[in-house]
Amino acid sequence: MTERRGARPMVVWEAIHDNGWTTRIDERHDGSFRAWAGVRSGRGVDDSIMPSVEDAHRAVMSSLRTVTGHAQCSHGCSDWDIRSRRAANLS
């Protein structure tokens, strides 16, 4: 018999930058992290999978710096908003 586990909280980190770009890191079921940098309309430049949240953070900030020239955050940038979301775990 297959045991079905319930949904578990998954962590999401998101920051909005003064140039209109968003950086987002999503925890994945396998323990890796999806790094994304782009504009809210969905167009992004980085959609990579990283082994740690620190690696994902470096990846999105590098993409933001390389593509937009956003080398350092200002008071106009938000702090990282950390929240959880429920994600079904089917394993």
Count of the separate structural domains present in the chain: 1
Domain for residue 58, yes or no?
yes
Domain for residue 34, yes or no?
yes
Domain for residue 43, yes or no?
yes
Domain for residue 3, yes or no?
no
pTM over 0.85: no
The b/e string for 23-43 (b: 16+ C-beta within 10 A; e otherwise) is bbbbbeeeebbbbbbbeeeee
Domain for residue 77, yes or no?
yes
Which two three-digit tokens encode residue 9?
A: 């909280």
Query: Which of the 8 DSSP states describes residue 76?
Result: T
Domain for residue 36, yes or no?
yes
Residue 55, domain extent: 8-87
Domain for residue 2, yes or no?
no
Under 8 Å between Cβ of 13 and 76: no
pLDDT mean by block of 10 residues, the chain; 91 residues: 57 94 92 90 78 94 90 93 72 43
